[in-house]
Amino acid sequence: MLPVHAKTWGFRPNPAVAAEIAALDAERDCQRIVHLLTAYEFPFDITRALEVALFYTYGSDTVSALLDRTGEFRNHGQKRYDDTRLLIAHFMDTGWDGDVGRRAIARMNASHAHFRIPNDDFLFVLWTFIDFPIWWMDNFGRRPFTRHEQLAWFTFWHTIGGKMGLRDIPASKAAFDQFVDQYKRVHFVPCEASRRVAEATVTILENWFPAPLRPLVSPVVYALQEDPQFLRAVGATPSPRWLGALVRGSLRLLGRLQRHVVITAYPQTQDSVINRTYPDNRYAIEELAPDRLRQAEAVKAGRTEAGASAVERQKA
Protein backbone atom coordinates (compact mmCIF):
# COMPACT_ATOMS: atom_id res chain seq x y z
CA MET A 1 0.00 0.00 0.00
CA LEU A 2 1.55 3.29 -1.13
CA PRO A 3 1.68 6.00 1.54
CA VAL A 4 -0.74 8.94 1.55
CA HIS A 5 0.83 12.06 3.00
CA ALA A 6 -0.80 14.72 5.17
CA LYS A 7 0.13 18.38 5.66
CA THR A 8 2.54 19.14 8.47
CA TRP A 9 0.77 21.05 11.28
CA GLY A 10 -2.31 21.19 9.06
CA PHE A 11 -0.98 23.80 6.63
CA ARG A 12 2.69 23.19 5.76
CA PRO A 13 4.19 20.97 3.03
CA ASN A 14 5.20 17.57 4.34
CA PRO A 15 8.97 16.94 3.92
CA ALA A 16 8.21 13.21 3.78
CA VAL A 17 7.02 13.70 0.18
CA ALA A 18 10.38 15.01 -1.03
CA ALA A 19 12.11 12.30 1.02
CA GLU A 20 10.04 9.58 -0.68
CA ILE A 21 10.83 11.04 -4.11
CA ALA A 22 14.55 11.10 -3.36
CA ALA A 23 14.46 7.46 -2.23
CA LEU A 24 12.83 6.24 -5.46
CA ASP A 25 14.55 5.28 -8.70
CA ALA A 26 14.08 8.12 -11.19
CA GLU A 27 13.49 5.86 -14.18
CA ARG A 28 11.90 2.72 -12.74
CA ASP A 29 9.62 4.65 -10.36
CA CYS A 30 8.88 7.67 -12.57
CA GLN A 31 5.10 7.08 -12.40
CA ARG A 32 5.08 7.34 -8.59
CA ILE A 33 7.40 10.35 -8.66
CA VAL A 34 5.18 12.21 -11.14
CA HIS A 35 2.17 11.47 -8.93
CA LEU A 36 3.97 12.89 -5.90
CA LEU A 37 5.05 15.98 -7.85
CA THR A 38 1.58 16.70 -9.24
CA ALA A 39 -0.54 15.76 -6.23
CA TYR A 40 1.65 17.10 -3.40
CA GLU A 41 4.75 19.09 -4.28
CA PHE A 42 3.63 21.30 -7.19
CA PRO A 43 -0.09 20.85 -8.04
CA PHE A 44 -0.76 24.55 -8.68
CA ASP A 45 2.50 25.14 -10.53
CA ILE A 46 2.38 22.09 -12.79
CA THR A 47 -1.18 22.94 -13.85
CA ARG A 48 -0.17 26.50 -14.73
CA ALA A 49 3.00 25.33 -16.48
CA LEU A 50 1.08 22.89 -18.68
CA GLU A 51 -1.45 25.62 -19.55
CA VAL A 52 1.44 27.83 -20.72
CA ALA A 53 2.91 24.84 -22.57
CA LEU A 54 -0.30 24.14 -24.48
CA PHE A 55 -0.57 27.82 -25.39
CA TYR A 56 3.00 27.75 -26.69
CA THR A 57 2.13 24.96 -29.15
CA TYR A 58 0.07 27.50 -31.10
CA GLY A 59 3.36 28.97 -32.32
CA SER A 60 3.57 26.04 -34.75
CA ASP A 61 1.84 26.72 -38.05
CA THR A 62 0.99 23.04 -38.60
CA VAL A 63 -0.29 22.41 -35.06
CA SER A 64 -2.45 25.53 -35.23
CA ALA A 65 -3.71 24.74 -38.72
CA LEU A 66 -5.20 21.46 -37.47
CA LEU A 67 -6.68 23.03 -34.32
CA ASP A 68 -8.13 25.88 -36.36
CA ARG A 69 -9.60 23.53 -38.96
CA THR A 70 -11.49 21.48 -36.37
CA GLY A 71 -13.03 24.66 -34.90
CA GLU A 72 -13.11 23.08 -31.44
CA PHE A 73 -11.41 25.96 -29.63
CA ARG A 74 -13.61 28.46 -31.44
CA ASN A 75 -16.95 26.67 -30.96
CA HIS A 76 -16.49 24.47 -27.88
CA GLY A 77 -13.47 26.01 -26.23
CA GLN A 78 -14.17 25.26 -22.58
CA LYS A 79 -15.03 21.61 -23.29
CA ARG A 80 -11.90 21.22 -25.42
CA TYR A 81 -9.82 22.68 -22.60
CA ASP A 82 -11.42 20.51 -19.91
CA ASP A 83 -11.22 17.31 -21.96
CA THR A 84 -7.51 17.84 -22.58
CA ARG A 85 -6.80 18.79 -18.97
CA LEU A 86 -8.66 15.79 -17.56
CA LEU A 87 -7.00 13.22 -19.82
CA ILE A 88 -3.52 14.51 -19.05
CA ALA A 89 -4.29 14.81 -15.33
CA HIS A 90 -5.57 11.24 -15.16
CA PHE A 91 -2.47 9.59 -16.54
CA MET A 92 -0.15 11.93 -14.63
CA ASP A 93 -1.95 10.97 -11.44
CA THR A 94 -2.13 7.21 -11.96
CA GLY A 95 0.47 6.55 -14.63
CA TRP A 96 -0.04 3.97 -17.35
CA ASP A 97 -0.19 0.93 -15.06
CA GLY A 98 -3.55 1.83 -13.50
CA ASP A 99 -6.89 1.32 -15.21
CA VAL A 100 -7.72 5.03 -15.25
CA GLY A 101 -4.37 5.98 -16.79
CA ARG A 102 -4.61 3.27 -19.45
CA ARG A 103 -8.10 4.41 -20.42
CA ALA A 104 -7.04 8.05 -20.58
CA ILE A 105 -4.13 7.25 -22.90
CA ALA A 106 -6.38 5.05 -25.04
CA ARG A 107 -8.97 7.83 -25.31
CA MET A 108 -6.30 10.33 -26.30
CA ASN A 109 -4.86 7.99 -28.93
CA ALA A 110 -8.33 7.25 -30.33
CA SER A 111 -9.00 10.97 -30.77
CA HIS A 112 -5.65 11.58 -32.47
CA ALA A 113 -6.27 8.66 -34.84
CA HIS A 114 -8.97 10.67 -36.61
CA PHE A 115 -6.32 13.06 -37.98
CA ARG A 116 -3.11 12.81 -39.96
CA ILE A 117 -0.69 14.46 -37.53
CA PRO A 118 3.00 14.64 -38.49
CA ASN A 119 5.35 12.89 -36.10
CA ASP A 120 7.40 16.07 -35.70
CA ASP A 121 4.31 17.94 -34.48
CA PHE A 122 3.66 15.24 -31.88
CA LEU A 123 7.29 15.44 -30.75
CA PHE A 124 7.13 19.23 -30.43
CA VAL A 125 3.98 19.09 -28.29
CA LEU A 126 5.51 16.33 -26.15
CA TRP A 127 8.60 18.51 -25.60
CA THR A 128 6.47 21.36 -24.24
CA PHE A 129 5.07 19.03 -21.56
CA ILE A 130 8.63 18.14 -20.56
CA ASP A 131 10.21 21.57 -20.77
CA PHE A 132 7.70 24.07 -19.42
CA PRO A 133 7.19 22.54 -15.95
CA ILE A 134 10.98 22.46 -15.48
CA TRP A 135 11.20 26.10 -16.62
CA TRP A 136 8.28 27.11 -14.38
CA MET A 137 9.80 25.57 -11.24
CA ASP A 138 13.13 27.23 -11.98
CA ASN A 139 11.42 30.61 -12.17
CA PHE A 140 8.27 30.51 -10.04
CA GLY A 141 8.00 27.27 -8.05
CA ARG A 142 8.50 26.85 -4.33
CA ARG A 143 11.77 25.19 -5.38
CA PRO A 144 13.26 23.96 -8.65
CA PHE A 145 12.95 20.35 -9.74
CA THR A 146 15.98 18.40 -8.54
CA ARG A 147 18.09 16.67 -11.21
CA HIS A 148 16.57 13.41 -9.92
CA GLU A 149 13.05 14.79 -10.47
CA GLN A 150 13.94 16.16 -13.90
CA LEU A 151 15.11 12.71 -15.00
CA ALA A 152 11.91 11.12 -13.67
CA TRP A 153 9.79 13.79 -15.41
CA PHE A 154 11.61 13.26 -18.70
CA THR A 155 11.39 9.47 -18.43
CA PHE A 156 7.67 9.62 -17.71
CA TRP A 157 6.86 11.75 -20.75
CA HIS A 158 9.29 9.87 -22.99
CA THR A 159 7.38 6.69 -22.11
CA ILE A 160 4.03 8.40 -22.72
CA GLY A 161 5.32 9.37 -26.17
CA GLY A 162 6.11 5.73 -26.87
CA LYS A 163 2.62 4.70 -25.80
CA MET A 164 1.25 7.30 -28.24
CA GLY A 165 3.17 5.61 -31.06
CA LEU A 166 5.64 8.46 -31.59
CA ARG A 167 8.79 7.66 -33.54
CA ASP A 168 12.37 8.84 -33.05
CA ILE A 169 11.82 10.43 -29.63
CA PRO A 170 15.10 12.08 -28.60
CA ALA A 171 16.81 10.07 -25.88
CA SER A 172 17.79 13.03 -23.68
CA LYS A 173 16.50 16.46 -22.76
CA ALA A 174 19.47 18.12 -24.46
CA ALA A 175 18.82 16.22 -27.69
CA PHE A 176 15.12 17.11 -27.48
CA ASP A 177 15.98 20.81 -27.05
CA GLN A 178 18.14 20.63 -30.17
CA PHE A 179 15.32 18.99 -32.14
CA VAL A 180 12.86 21.72 -31.08
CA ASP A 181 15.29 24.52 -32.02
CA GLN A 182 15.36 23.10 -35.56
CA TYR A 183 11.58 22.54 -35.56
CA LYS A 184 10.89 26.15 -34.59
CA ARG A 185 13.05 27.49 -37.42
CA VAL A 186 10.67 25.79 -39.84
CA HIS A 187 7.29 26.09 -38.13
CA PHE A 188 7.33 29.23 -35.96
CA VAL A 189 6.24 31.62 -38.69
CA PRO A 190 3.45 34.25 -38.73
CA CYS A 191 0.23 32.34 -39.37
CA GLU A 192 -3.44 33.35 -39.29
CA ALA A 193 -4.42 29.96 -37.88
CA SER A 194 -2.01 30.50 -34.99
CA ARG A 195 -3.49 33.92 -34.31
CA ARG A 196 -7.08 32.64 -34.38
CA VAL A 197 -6.45 29.67 -32.08
CA ALA A 198 -4.52 31.85 -29.63
CA GLU A 199 -7.34 34.41 -29.58
CA ALA A 200 -9.95 31.67 -29.06
CA THR A 201 -7.99 30.31 -26.11
CA VAL A 202 -7.64 33.76 -24.55
CA THR A 203 -11.43 34.05 -24.83
CA ILE A 204 -11.79 30.83 -22.84
CA LEU A 205 -9.60 32.26 -20.10
CA GLU A 206 -11.43 35.61 -20.12
CA ASN A 207 -14.70 33.84 -19.39
CA TRP A 208 -13.26 32.57 -16.10
CA PHE A 209 -13.24 36.12 -14.71
CA PRO A 210 -15.76 38.91 -14.04
CA ALA A 211 -16.26 41.27 -16.98
CA PRO A 212 -14.21 44.17 -15.51
CA LEU A 213 -11.11 41.93 -15.27
CA ARG A 214 -11.30 40.39 -18.74
CA PRO A 215 -9.27 43.08 -20.57
CA LEU A 216 -6.32 42.16 -18.32
CA VAL A 217 -6.27 38.50 -19.31
CA SER A 218 -4.57 38.80 -22.69
CA PRO A 219 -1.70 41.05 -21.50
CA VAL A 220 -1.10 38.79 -18.49
CA VAL A 221 -1.09 35.65 -20.67
CA TYR A 222 1.45 37.14 -23.07
CA ALA A 223 3.55 38.43 -20.18
CA LEU A 224 4.41 34.76 -19.54
CA GLN A 225 5.41 34.13 -23.16
CA GLU A 226 8.88 35.60 -23.50
CA ASP A 227 9.87 33.90 -26.78
CA PRO A 228 9.79 36.55 -29.57
CA GLN A 229 9.45 33.80 -32.20
CA PHE A 230 6.22 32.69 -30.57
CA LEU A 231 4.83 36.21 -30.30
CA ARG A 232 5.54 36.86 -33.99
CA ALA A 233 3.97 33.53 -34.98
CA VAL A 234 0.65 34.27 -33.24
CA GLY A 235 0.68 37.96 -34.17
CA ALA A 236 0.72 39.10 -30.54
CA THR A 237 2.01 42.38 -29.17
CA PRO A 238 4.50 41.91 -26.34
CA SER A 239 3.08 42.91 -22.97
CA PRO A 240 4.50 46.09 -21.37
CA ARG A 241 7.70 45.44 -19.47
CA TRP A 242 6.23 46.75 -16.25
CA LEU A 243 3.36 44.27 -16.50
CA GLY A 244 5.72 41.40 -17.20
CA ALA A 245 7.77 42.35 -14.15
CA LEU A 246 4.61 42.57 -12.04
CA VAL A 247 3.25 39.19 -13.18
CA ARG A 248 6.55 37.40 -12.74
CA GLY A 249 7.27 39.07 -9.44
CA SER A 250 3.84 38.08 -8.12
CA LEU A 251 4.38 34.46 -9.15
CA ARG A 252 7.78 34.41 -7.44
CA LEU A 253 6.20 35.74 -4.26
CA LEU A 254 3.55 33.03 -4.47
CA GLY A 255 6.29 30.46 -4.88
CA ARG A 256 7.99 31.69 -1.71
CA LEU A 257 4.66 31.52 0.13
CA GLN A 258 4.22 27.92 -0.99
CA ARG A 259 7.47 26.96 0.71
CA HIS A 260 5.63 27.42 3.98
CA VAL A 261 1.89 27.13 3.22
CA VAL A 262 -0.05 24.60 1.10
CA ILE A 263 -2.53 26.57 -1.03
CA THR A 264 -4.26 23.57 -2.66
CA ALA A 265 -5.83 20.31 -1.53
CA TYR A 266 -3.28 17.77 -0.25
CA PRO A 267 -3.17 15.58 -2.19
CA GLN A 268 -4.87 17.39 -5.03
CA THR A 269 -7.15 15.10 -7.03
CA GLN A 270 -9.57 15.68 -9.89
CA ASP A 271 -12.40 15.94 -7.36
CA SER A 272 -10.71 18.96 -5.77
CA VAL A 273 -10.39 20.95 -9.02
CA ILE A 274 -13.11 23.16 -10.52
CA ASN A 275 -14.70 21.39 -13.48
CA ARG A 276 -16.69 23.82 -15.62
CA THR A 277 -17.84 21.39 -18.32
CA TYR A 278 -18.69 18.42 -16.08
CA PRO A 279 -20.24 19.63 -12.80
CA ASP A 280 -19.52 17.35 -9.84
CA ASN A 281 -17.09 15.49 -12.13
CA ARG A 282 -19.87 13.48 -13.75
CA TYR A 283 -18.19 12.10 -16.86
CA ALA A 284 -16.65 8.94 -18.25
CA ILE A 285 -13.11 8.99 -19.62
CA GLU A 286 -14.39 7.62 -22.92
CA GLU A 287 -16.59 10.76 -23.26
CA LEU A 288 -13.61 13.13 -23.19
CA ALA A 289 -13.53 13.86 -26.90
CA PRO A 290 -15.29 16.16 -29.39
CA ASP A 291 -18.88 15.08 -29.99
CA ARG A 292 -18.35 14.63 -33.72
CA LEU A 293 -15.48 12.22 -33.11
CA ARG A 294 -17.54 10.19 -30.67
CA GLN A 295 -20.39 10.08 -33.19
CA ALA A 296 -18.00 8.86 -35.90
CA GLU A 297 -16.70 6.19 -33.54
CA ALA A 298 -20.26 5.10 -32.74
CA VAL A 299 -21.07 4.78 -36.44
CA LYS A 300 -17.90 2.79 -37.04
CA ALA A 301 -18.63 0.54 -34.07
CA GLY A 302 -22.14 -0.04 -35.38
CA ARG A 303 -20.80 -1.07 -38.76
CA THR A 304 -18.29 -3.40 -37.14
CA GLU A 305 -21.00 -5.05 -35.05
CA ALA A 306 -23.24 -5.37 -38.11
CA GLY A 307 -20.39 -6.96 -40.06
CA ALA A 308 -19.68 -9.40 -37.26
CA SER A 309 -23.34 -10.35 -37.10
CA ALA A 310 -23.40 -10.96 -40.84
CA VAL A 311 -20.37 -13.23 -40.59
CA GLU A 312 -22.01 -15.20 -37.81
CA ARG A 313 -25.21 -15.60 -39.85
CA GLN A 314 -23.19 -16.88 -42.83
CA LYS A 315 -21.46 -19.44 -40.57
CA ALA A 316 -24.84 -20.60 -39.30
CB 278 within 8 A of CB 288: no
Question: What distance, in Å, lies between the first and last C-alpha atoms of the chain?
Answer: 51
Q: How sure is the predictor about 107, in pLDDT bands with cuts at 50, 70 and 90?
A: very high
Is residue 303, in this structure, part of any structural domain at all? no
What is the H or E stretch that residue 178 is in? helix 173-187
SS3 29: coil
Structural domain for 143, as ranges: 15-290
Please tell me the total count of domains within the chain.
1
Is residue 218, in this structure, part of any structural domain at all? yes
Is residue 195, in this structure, part of any structural domain at all? yes
Q: How sure is the predictor about 74, in pLDDT bands with cuts at 50, 70 and 90?
A: confident
pLDDT at 300: 79
pLDDT at 275: 84
How far is Cα 247 from Cα 220, in angstroms, rounded to an integer? 7
Q: How sure is the predictor about 311, in pLDDT bands with cuts at 50, 70 and 90?
A: very low
pLDDT at 52: 96
Write the CB contacts of 290 (distance below 8 Å, at least 6 apart in sequence).
Answer: 70, 72, 76, 79, 80, 83, 111
Mean residue pLDDT of the chain comes to: 93
Is residue 313, in this structure, part of any structural domain at all? no
pLDDT at 88: 95
CB atoms within 10 A of CB 69: 10
Percent of the chain with pLDDT over 90: 82
Q: How sure is the predictor about 109, in pLDDT bands with cuts at 50, 70 and 90?
A: very high
Q: What is the mean pLDDT of residues 192-211?
A: 95
pTM, two decimals, is 0.93
SS3 227: coil
How far is Cα 6 from Cα 13, in angstroms, rounded to an integer? 8
SS3 76: coil
pLDDT at 313: 53
Is residue 240, in this structure, part of any structural domain at all? yes
pLDDT in tens, 231-287: 999 999 999 999 999 999 999 999 999 999 999 999 998 777 888 899 888 899 999
Is 3 buried (19+), middle (13-18) or exposed (0-12) by CB count in 10 A? Answer: exposed
pLDDT at 271: 75
Q: Is the dihedral of CA 279, 284, 290, 291 positive or negative?
A: negative
Is residue 164, in this structure, part of any structural domain at all? yes
Q: How sure is the predictor about 303, in pLDDT bands with cuts at 50, 70 and 90?
A: low
Is residue 114, in this structure, part of any structural domain at all? yes
Of 221, 116, 112, the closest CA to residue 161 belongs to: 112
Is residue 300, in this structure, part of any structural domain at all? no
